Amino acid sequence: MTDHAPSPQRLATVAAALERIDLDLAGAEAVVLAGTARRLVAEYLLPRVTDPEADLVVAVVGVSGAGKSTLVNSLARRRLTATGVRRPTTTEPVAWGPDTLPPTLDAMRRRLPGRMVDTLLPPPPGVVILDTPPPDVRDVTGRAVCHDLLDVADACILVTAANRYADAAGFELARRAADRGVTTLFVLNRLPPTPELQRVLVADFADKLTRAGLMATAEPEGIIAIAEGVISVEREGLASEAVIGLRKAIDLIADPTARVAVMSRTVAGTTAQVQEALVVVRTALITAAARRVELGDPVRLAYSSAGGQVAEAVRSGAFAEIKDDPEALVAALAAATARRAGRAALHSADRWDRLGAATGAGLFTHGGETPQTARERFEWWQSELPRLATELSGRKVRPRRAVRLTAAARDAVFDPGHEPDRRERRLLRRYPGLVAAAAERLSEELAGIVATDSTRFTSALGPVLPSGIIADLDLETAP
């Protein structure tokens, strides 16, 4: 394995981070790239780096009708996978190799259909040949099955037919492999028997691959040419001599020295692709977090100020004249709280509008439930005063005394100039600290009511960026 490969610990950290992030924080491009990175890390890099001695996966890919299954049967010298005129013939992946799948394919097996072939004539030691469905075969999520299989391959055999070698879908598969640094063998299959015509088609295919950046030079020798031939009814494959060139190329990949180079190149290419994707994801998350702060700060400040203003109105005695009328007090306090929340909402919505954020008409005033919430919380505050007194003093408040104690504490909280009579003073002395604690709890309740109204804004900001997630989304960070 290359010295530049990420450690299993670092890969596990990145995989866990990709599972932790809420993709609602990112834009559409970041969502796609995060999904790609998640699959490549979990299904290729982590199992491959953890077990570098596992067999190489060589994926046979191509469009429908290219002859992939026929070539696999030809290599195996027996019928391993179905062939025929029905398209697509191969609808599930078929692996040809030893008894145990490499961990990359084993991870894929948990979510894709397919089968392992028990063979008497295995491929060269150290490789598993994987026949894949064409790109138009998709899983339940709509993803092309061959794309996912190609993404866990260490090497690739791109098969195309002489009459379809310019097909864009085939070049897309080759590009997908090249983006990960996957060693690719190019097979031009079903060539006409005329040598002159074969040379023309092979040269043109090589030229097209070179112009697409998929081959270094337009050398026909870089193309494995296979002529149309007689298909054996028994094994549904060509004669062994027809695929000698392809067999030799696979033997070279399986050679112990070449095998290390092939795997290292793919790991390095996949690491680079994942790291590029992570850069985009991190940037999107940082941008989203900055935008959240930009939009969230004016909301937080406006609502914090609103809650403080209602609390200050209570402390200043603004409600003192109606303290003896609980119903009027509840109504006035609820109205004042809703009014302050409405002003905070108007300020916040106006700021969002200027910052280009989406705002609806409902955000320019307090929420419809805020007045009722204020009523309910104030009534709860009153009902909890006897229990608060017990918590502070350790003395249980008898029911008849609870009514007088609640009124005395309420009067003291809402009227700074209130002079309690002798009975009230004696009652309050039995529960020292009650008035101050009640005032503090009321301030907390008022702030909570206003803050609840602000959730109409904060919920629109999306989830908060998890702590440490940016550092975890980096393959280059030391474990």
pLDDT of residue 23: 65
Residue 212 in contact with residue 165, Cβ under 8 Å? Answer: no
Per-residue burial over 153-191, b if 16 or more Cβ lie within 10 Å, else e, is bbbbbbbbbbebbebebbbebbebbbebbbbbbbbbbbb
Cβ–Cβ < 8 Å for 333, 327: no
Judged against a pLDDT cut of 70, whether residue 369 lies above it is answered with yes
Q: Where does the pLDDT of residue 478 fall: very low under 50, low under 70, confident under 90, or very high at 90 and above?
A: low
Q: What is the mean predicted confidence (pLDDT) over 193-214?
A: 94
Res 88 pLDDT > 60? no
Please report which confidence band the pLDDT of residue 82 belongs to, taking 50, 70 and 90 as the band edges: low
Using left for φ > 0, alpha for ψ between -120 and 50, and beta otherwise, residue 396 falls in beta
Hey, which bits of 92-241 come out as E strands? Answer: 94-96, 115-117, 127-131, 155-161, 183-191, 223-227
263 three-state secondary structure: helix
Q: What pLDDT digit, counting tens, does each position of 119-131 carry?
A: 567 788 899 999 9
Q: Residue 369 to residues 302, 304, 337, 373: CA-CA distances in angstroms? A: 19, 19, 12, 6
94/88 Cα distance (integer angstroms): 14
The CATH architecture that domain 56-243 belongs to is: 3-Layer(aba) Sandwich (3.40)
Dihedral over alpha carbons 375, 380, 383, 389 (to 10 degrees): -130
Residue 375 has pLDDT above 90, yes or no: yes
Q: Is 358 helix (H, G, I), strand (E, B) or coil?
A: coil
Cβ 287 vs Cβ 442: under 8 Å: no
Q: Are 186 and 207 in contact (CB under 8 A)?
A: no
Q: Return the number of other C-beta atoms located less than 10 Å from residue 70's C-beta.
A: 26
- DSSP letter at 240 equals G
Cα–Cα–Cα angle for 42, 46, 51, nearest 5°?
Answer: 140
Confidence class of residue 86 from pLDDT cuts 50, 70 and 90? very low
pLDDT at residue 167, rounded to an integer: 87
Please say whether the beta carbons of 173 and 150 come within 8 A.
yes
Half-sphere exposure of 419 (CA within 13 A, CB side): 0
Q: At what angle do helices 256-315 and 434-458 cross, to 10 degrees?
A: 130
pLDDT score for 122:
75
How distant, in Å, are the alpha carbons of 202, 220, 474 from that of 196? 10, 13, 53
Q: Look at residue 479 and tell me whether its pLDDT is greater than 60.
A: no
32-67: per-residue pLDDT in tens?
889 899 999 999 999 999 999 999 999 999 998 888
Q: Average per-residue pLDDT in the chain? A: 88
- pLDDT tens sequence across 429-468: 999 999 999 999 999 999 899 999 999 998 888 778 888 8
Q: Identify the residue with better confidence: 234 or 84.
A: 234
| pLDDT number for residue 47 | 93
**Domain spans in the chain, listed from the N-terminal domain onward:** 56-243, 297-461
Query: Could you write out the DSSP letters of every residue in 400-458?
Result: HHHHHHHHHHHHHHH-TT----HHHHHHHHTSTTHHHHHHHHHHHHHHHHHHHHHHHHH
Question: How many CB atoms sit inside 10 A of residue 257's CB?
Answer: 8
Share of the chain above pLDDT 90, in %: 61
Number of H helices, E strands in the chain: 17, 7
pLDDT of residue 273: 95
pLDDT at 372 over 90: yes
If you write DSSP's letter for every residue of 174-193 in order, what string do you get?
HHHHHHTT-EEEEEEEEE-S
Q: What is the pLDDT of residue 90?
A: 60
Residue 475 CA to residue 9 CA, distance in Å, equals 10
Q: Are 206 and 215 in contact (CB under 8 A)?
A: yes
Over residues 89-144, the pLDDT tens digits come to: 567 888 888 877 888 887 676 655 555 555 567 788 899 999 999 998 888 888 89
> Which residues lie closer than 8 Å to 256 by C-beta, 6 or more apart?
126
* List of residues 6+ apart from 123 with CB closer than 8 A: 75, 76, 96, 97, 129, 250, 254
